[in-house]
Chains A and B, each alone.
Chain A
Amino acid sequence: MREGGVVGELLRWACVALFLGRAWQHLRWDAPYRALLWSQETMEGVIAVVVGMSWETYATSPEVAAAIATGVQVIGLFFVLCAVAAGCCSPTRRWTHFVLAAGALALTFLAYVTYRDRLYRIGEFAEYACQFTLPLLLVLWTRGAVSGALLGNLLRVAIACTFVGHGLYAVGLYPTPGDWVTMTMGLTGLGDAAAMTFLRIAGVLDFVVAAALFVGPVARSAALYAAVWGLLTAVARVAAFVRWDSFADTASQWVFETLVRLPHAALPLALFWLLRARAASAEPFPQVRTPSPSEFPQPKPIT
């Protein structure tokens, strides 16, 4: 397989995994849109004008709660469509481009409401960068709208944002989530104090890697580290929390958490692949080019 093809396929299947994960999250569980819809500070006036309800009525209405739940499910169905579009995205299937662009917008909005839900921590929004940029990168790459060099730079920015966002929690500048400590303890056998130290070190490395992605001589190593770490942190959710005695319940809750994080591995791997090609040629990304429509592999649609 050519280098360009490998990058395209990495983006494609990471995007499929991402949307399938988000779809499952929305259809089975929930998503934090209430961080906006239930914000009395932001929405009370809007609700009064648009819906004509008092805030108390709105916030305690079973009908409103049901409507929000339905809305979450509808977005979940849309993400299924996005996964299909990612799976069969090609230069000639222009509808997939529009769907994926809309999917990127939906993911960006999801990142925004998550940022609100996590107490306006900007690092939370940054951590989602790999996810909400991925559909656009796939479309741009598929359409031949970006060169390998530009794609590489876009990848660097997205990966760096994600790793910095993650690092802010890991080093404790934001409260380190209890789940992370529990997960680390479960997988390593460390006590909580040692697990916290481990996370602190990992957080510092997140920052180092984010910076190193922009430093020519070490960028490829940084991308490879980011890919490995991204994969480990994605798979760790399943490894730590899925239990045989409650497989259906725990898999339902945690497999999607792994799927949505696969881009954290796939994007660095794509960057690594691009940098590897550049190193082989000694010129900036000369061997990497977007396949022409006639060359582009035509995957079978997901059914």
Chain B
Amino acid sequence: MKKFILLLALCAGASGSALQAATDYYRLSWRADPATTMVVGWRQSGGTNATVHYGTTDHGTNYASYPNSLGVSRTTTAKGMTHQFSRLTGLQPDTPYYFVVRDSQGTSARMWFRTAPSTAKDFAIVAGGDSRNNRTPRQNANRLVSKLRPLFVMFGGDYTDKNTDVEWNDWFADWQLTKSTDGRMYPVIATRGNHDDNLSLVDMFDIPSSNVYYALSVGGSSYMRVYTLNSEITPGGTQGDWLVNDLAANAGVKWKLAQFHKPFFPHVAAKAENDAMYSAWAQAFYDRGVALVVDSDSHCVKHTWPLKPTGSTAPASAFTRDDARGAVYVGEGTWGAPLRPADDAKSYTRDAGSFNAFHWIQVRSDRLEVRTVNVDNATSVGTVSDSAPFTAPSGLNVWSPANGSVITITPRTTVASTTVSFQQGVNGYSGAADTKIRSDAATTNYGADPVLEIDGSPDYAALLRFDLSSIPAGKTITSVSLSVNVTDVSSQPYEIYAMRRSWSESSATWNQASSGVAWSTVGANNTSTDRENTVLGALSSSSTGVRTFTFNASGVAKVQAWVNTPSSNHGFVIQDYVNNTDGLDISSKENGTAANRPKLTVTYQ
């Protein structure tokens, strides 16, 4: 009899474990088009052959009935856990997908998600950040996500306090509270904070960028673009160039949102200012009509008015109000973090406070509405209906400060861009000058030569200048490019540097800038007096013909400076005396065919 009972017990244990999958800590994210893809992620603790079974019909936990399945696309190890991801593709837009994760030890509960629409359509977003060391409000905020049922969540970083294994285990356990009672889960667009690191975030959310800055288009290519930036790496440089270029490439998108961790100018007085980020990003946001920016880090709540950057890095005067074009900034990270007083309001602050909260963003075709929600009473809040996603559930505690509980943002009006080109002899333009200087003919002037030779062995450089005085003062330069006719190719990049001193087309040589005025260093190569040391762009070409080279953010800024102060425009030099050995030849303004002459194209607003 005892043996029989023992056998029963063993069978019961075995059958029990067979029912329980070795997967948990589920999460959703996006790497590509949110309308047709979804990344399903989970923790794998034992078990093998994990597979996501999915389809548009709910088959409960009967995994075999789902028409689609996909195994593991990627496995990572981070924070003491094994993470697995199935990257689902080929999904239908704006469609519910039901899924289970099945492995050798069993099947998960049935969950579901909704893909993003592929065209303009109303939906809601939850945005916030800083869930790092006050677990009760973090859990409340997560519960409230499950009740507000957004299309997705923008999370602004600082998930945990010390980025430890234990804390991340707790975080993922708490994240399961975002799952609605009907099993619906919500994709998270993850941002890096100063308590996180790039690598583990990439490995836990399958982020599409190893540097954790990326953009996703929601509602098709012209409805919404969500920018996630990384405040923990340099904001300029590659990241800044990417942002400027991506914003330009998506100029026609109606709604542009951005999220990053650290605010430019925190609303907590003891927090350091981040003016390098402001300098790198704020103007780009304004120029390209970014409507809403969500930041975190300070552990308080703020709303600003729509803001236009002034260019000043003094926090008090960095912005002015511009209701038509400006970006609204909301923050600053109270998804479960100890609170700080919002004691550093600016003249452009709309409202500020200090409580546990996130932002509920309603996206409509004609406006965004932003509400900041106190999450403390999450357990007593009702649930939003998917058929009426903007109807506030019962008991929702929306912050109601002095300037109103709802921030309404209409599509940002962007000033029409004007593009002008400067090319000698075209449309009556005669303001160009160019010449080359050669180390092997140090006293020879080539101002009348039809070819500009650029080389690193022997050292040759090209000097070019364009009169830009026809661009009205006060305009904002948004892009610059140089088109040249390549007659001898080189795959080695030749850099563009702004000149610091004037030079004469008719008398400049390797040795001198103009008649009787020597370069400080031959070849116009003194970075203190002859030329600047910031690379504005680079030229290289593997084929001949007219080629166009885009100036980088520094190049755009330099042309802006020339427009602002025309006397500072001494043109630029193209050279690389250090690294290159293969020369690049281009036509000069003396070329007999006007279309082959160097052309500077400037776009301004």
A residues at B contact (CB < 8 Å): 29-30, 34, 38-41, 55-56, 58-60, 62, 65-66, 69, 72, 116, 119-120, 175, 177-179, 181-182, 185, 188-189, 191-193, 195, 241, 243, 245-246, 248-250, 253
Residues of chain A with a CB closer than 8 A to B533's CB: 188-189
Alpha-carbon distance A77/B534, docked complex (angstroms): 43
Interface string of B262-291 (1 = CB under 8 A from A): 000000001111011000000000000000
Do B276 and A182 touch (CB < 8 A)? yes
For this complex, 16 residue pairs linking A to B, each with C-beta atoms less than 8 Å apart, are A30-B271, A40-B134, A41-B166, A55-B134, A59-B133, A175-B197, A177-B232, A179-B276, A182-B276, A185-B234, A185-B237, A191-B238, A191-B535, A192-B236, A250-B275, A253-B272
User: Which residues of B in the span 558-579 have a Cβ within 8 Å of any Cβ on A?
Assistant: none
Do A250 and B313 touch (CB < 8 A)? yes
Residue B73, interface by CB 8 Å? no
Do B535 and A246 touch (CB < 8 A)? no
Task: Tell me the number of A-to-B contacts counted with CB atoms below 8 Å.
Answer: 119
CB contact under 8 A between A116 and B162, given known A38-B338, A39-B133: yes
Residue B501, interface by CB 8 Å? no
Do B275 and A243 touch (CB < 8 A)? yes
Do B237 and A56 touch (CB < 8 A)? no
CB-nearest residue of chain B to A66 = B341
Alpha-carbon distance A189/B341, docked complex (angstroms): 39
Q: Which of B137, B232, B273, B356 contacts A178 (CB 8 A)?
A: B232
Q: Which of B133, B198, B270, B314 contacts A69 (CB 8 A)?
A: B270
Do A60 and B338 touch (CB < 8 A)? yes
CB-nearest residue of chain B to A40 = B133
Interface string of B325-354 (1 = CB under 8 A from A): 000000000000111110000000000001
Alpha-carbon distance A253/B271, docked complex (angstroms): 10
In the complex, how many angstroms separate the beta carbon of A37 from the nearest chain B beta carbon? 9
CB contact under 8 A between A182 and B236, given known A59-B133, A243-B275: yes
Do A246 and B161 touch (CB < 8 A)? no
Residues of chain A with a CB closer than 8 A to B314's CB: 245-246, 248-249
Residues of chain A with a CB closer than 8 A to B356's CB: 60
Alpha-carbon distance A38/B338, docked complex (angstroms): 7
Alpha-carbon distance A38/B340, docked complex (angstroms): 11
Do A181 and B237 touch (CB < 8 A)? yes
CB-nearest residue of chain A to B334 = A60
Q: Which of A29, A39, A191, A246 contacts B312 (CB 8 A)?
A: A246
In the complex, how many angstroms separate the beta carbon of B305 from the nearest chain A beta carbon? 21
Residue B372, interface by CB 8 Å? no
User: Which residues of B in the span 150-191 have a Cβ within 8 Å of any Cβ on A?
Assistant: 161-164, 166-167
Do B338 and A65 touch (CB < 8 A)? yes
Q: Besides A55-B136, A59-B134, 6 other CB < 8 A contacts? A: A41-B162, A56-B137, A59-B338, A246-B312, A248-B314, A250-B313
Do A178 and B235 touch (CB < 8 A)? yes
Residue B251, interface by CB 8 Å? no
In the complex, how many angstroms separate the beta carbon of A68 from the nearest chain B beta carbon? 9
Do A189 and B198 touch (CB < 8 A)? no
B residues at A contact (CB < 8 Å): 133-137, 161-164, 166-167, 195, 197-198, 230-239, 270-273, 275-276, 311-315, 337-341, 354-356, 527, 532-535
Interface of B is mostly: loop
Residues of chain A with a CB closer than 8 A to B163's CB: 119
Do B339 and A65 touch (CB < 8 A)? yes
Q: Which of A41, A185, A192, A249 contacts B313 (CB 8 A)?
A: A249
> Which of A29, A55, A60, A250 neighbours the largest number of chain B CB atoms within 10 Å of its CB?
A60
> Which of B137, B167, B270 neighbours the largest number of chain A CB atoms within 10 Å of its CB?
B270
In the complex, how many angstroms separate the beta carbon of B19 from the nearest chain A beta carbon? 34
Alpha-carbon distance A250/B232, docked complex (angstroms): 19
Do A175 and B232 touch (CB < 8 A)? yes
CB-nearest residue of chain A to B195 = A119
Q: Which of A39, A181, A191 contacts B161 (CB 8 A)?
A: A39
CB-nearest residue of chain B to A181 = B234
Residues of chain A with a CB closer than 8 A to B341's CB: 62, 65-66
Residues of chain A with a CB closer than 8 A to B161's CB: 38-41
Residues of chain A with a CB closer than 8 A to B167's CB: 41
Alpha-carbon distance A185/B554, docked complex (angstroms): 11
Residues of chain B with a CB closer than 8 A to A179's CB: 276
Residues of chain B with a CB closer than 8 A to A185's CB: 234, 236-237
Q: Which of B162, B315, B340 contacts A39 (CB 8 A)?
A: B162
> Which of A39, A41, A178, A243 neighbours the largest number of chain B CB atoms within 10 Å of its CB?
A178
In the complex, how many angstroms separate the beta carbon of A216 from the nearest chain B beta carbon? 37
Alpha-carbon distance A59/B161, docked complex (angstroms): 13
Residues of chain B with a CB closer than 8 A to A62's CB: 339, 341, 354
Residues of chain A with a CB closer than 8 A to B166's CB: 41
CB contact under 8 A between A29 and B270, given known A59-B339, A178-B231: yes
Residues of chain A with a CB closer than 8 A to B136's CB: 55-56
Alpha-carbon distance A65/B135, docked complex (angstroms): 18
Alpha-carbon distance A29/B236, docked complex (angstroms): 25
Alpha-carbon distance A189/B275, docked complex (angstroms): 18
Alpha-carbon distance A232/B175, docked complex (angstroms): 46
CB contact under 8 A between A189 and B197, given known A39-B162, A246-B275: no
